[in-house]
Amino acid sequence: MSASELLRATIFHTPADAFLIPDALRAHADGGVLIRDGRIVAAGDYSRVRALDREAVTTDWRGGFVIPGLIDAHIHFPQVRIIGHLGRSLLDWLESTALPEEARMSDIAYARQTARAFVHLLASHGTTTALVFGAHYASATAALFEEAAARGLRVVSGLVLSDRRLRPELHQPPDAAYRDATELIARFHGKRRLLYAVTPRFALSTSEAMLEVCQTLRREHDGLRVQSHLNENVDEVAEVRRLFPWAADYMSVYERYGLDGSGAVMAHDVWPTDAELERMAAGRTTVAHCPCSNAALGSGIFPLRRHLSAGVRFALGTDVGGGTGFGMLKEALQAYLMQRVTQDGFSLNASQLLYLATRAGAEALRLDDEIGDCQAGKAADLVYLRPEPGSALAAAVETSDDLSATLAALITLGDPGCIRDVRVEGVSVFQAVVPS
């Protein structure tokens, strides 16, 4: 038996759906997570967990917090360098800002550098799993998979498919897209901690022939995930309706090609119809809610209450570079803030925010048997955060004797500077350099 490690800290996790189960939050002020062979053996009060294994080596992180590895359900790897181009709306931003940068990924050296920076930024922000839009180029998408594998992160990604209405150099003929995607699937899907996602950019930029390719890929390979964009911006929705006159709504374009259901994650869904929500709930298509991006691009406010009422599941995504950065706690805070100021908004509590940044993402990716919380048997994907001495977070948690309030403060004030150690299957993928 290999050596066990016992992490001692305040622990928060949500082993259940925090919207369905009011007391889903598990919080242990003096907590322990026992890890053996990369798996969680037990998590709970330190004294109880200690009694399970007297030999385990304790890593004393008292004064800090351990939460499950954060899960980003929507992010674009080629957009690392364009975060913060504010003041535009989706279609205009794509043309002026995002797509020229995505075209630079044809240079494999540039793509590799970008992939390395991207993977480092995920890890250093505590994101251990991400559903990532790859590049429009197979070699650049392969570079992302390779960098993620080298770092040890869990990445679900795929070649971005488009054959119209973008810059011509980003278009692929459907048969070439099929060939390239098939090869990437053979190389990376199910290897190490990688999975492949069929990734049509959005209905606007994919012809019916390209959507057929997506359908074929999903049919030909077991366990592929699907990701795309849906109902992000009113002009985009109107244009999709014009391009697909036979479709009752945006979602029915994807449905016609079998790109819905469990394992399919649609980003945004700011402007859904009731009929779309009803069908997504029935089919278990998940939404990646990206509140920073929705605000930055002026796309609108996510109708969270309508998703909840309809029973549509959703997780959180940063949508870098339309979004404002890699921080999933910041994304959770933004979700809370936007809902607070919208008419008919939903007042999200700390437990729901943690759930959305962790377990909900695991459920969206159909990885909830493996990751998303600290239950026994799961992979030890964990983040250790510690308030900087003298910081507002330190002040907020020092005097708090209510663990829900402490978690709320951690979500509000827990910036990347607090992240000290990030583990995937018990092994550090990021450690902060802290002056001693």
Burial degree of 168 (CB within 10 A; 0-12, 13-18, 19+): exposed
In the complex, minimum distance from the CB of residue 315 to Zn ion, in angstroms, rounded to a whole number? 14
Contacts with Zn ion by CB under 5 A lie at 267, 319
Q: Are 399 and 387 in contact (CB under 8 A)?
A: no
In the complex, minimum distance from the CB of residue 293 to Zn ion, in angstroms, rounded to a whole number? 7
- Please, which residue, 102 or 260, has the CB nearer to Zn ion? 102
- Please, which residue, 319 or 421, has the CB nearer to Zn ion? 319
Q: Are 182 and 141 in contact (CB under 8 A)?
A: no
Q: How far apart are CA 266 and CA 254, in angstroms?
A: 10
- Write b or e for each residue in 360-375: b if 16 or more Cβ atoms lie within 10 A of its Cβ, otherwise e: bbbbbbbbbebbbbbb
User: Dihedral through CA 413, CA 416, CA 420, CA 426, nearest 10?
Assistant: 110
What is the token pair recorded at 52?
């399970």
Q: How far apart are CA 423 and CA 68, in angstroms?
A: 9
In the complex, minimum distance from the CB of residue 292 to Zn ion, in angstroms, rounded to a whole number? 12
Does 377 sit behind a cis peptide bond, omega within 30 degrees of 0 on the bond before it? Answer: no
In the complex, minimum distance from the CB of residue 319 to Zn ion, in angstroms, rounded to a whole number? 5
In the complex, minimum distance from the CB of residue 93 to Zn ion, in angstroms, rounded to a whole number? 11
In the complex, minimum distance from the CB of residue 149 to Zn ion, in angstroms, rounded to a whole number? 23
What is the token pair recorded at 355?
């759930």
- Please, which residue, 40 or 75, has the CB nearer to Zn ion? 75
Half-sphere exposure of 436 (CA within 13 A, CB side): 0
As a whole number of Å, the end-to-end CA separation of the chain is 34
- Please, which residue, 267 or 413, has the CB nearer to Zn ion? 267
In the complex, minimum distance from the CB of residue 157 to Zn ion, in angstroms, rounded to a whole number? 13
- Please, which residue, 68 or 78, has the CB nearer to Zn ion? 78
- Please, which residue, 90 or 123, has the CB nearer to Zn ion? 90
- Please, which residue, 39 or 81, has the CB nearer to Zn ion? 81
H runs (alpha helix) in 258-366:
274-283, 291-296, 304-310, 328-341, 350-357, 359-364
- Please, which residue, 34 or 267, has the CB nearer to Zn ion? 267
In the complex, minimum distance from the CB of residue 307 to Zn ion, in angstroms, rounded to a whole number? 18
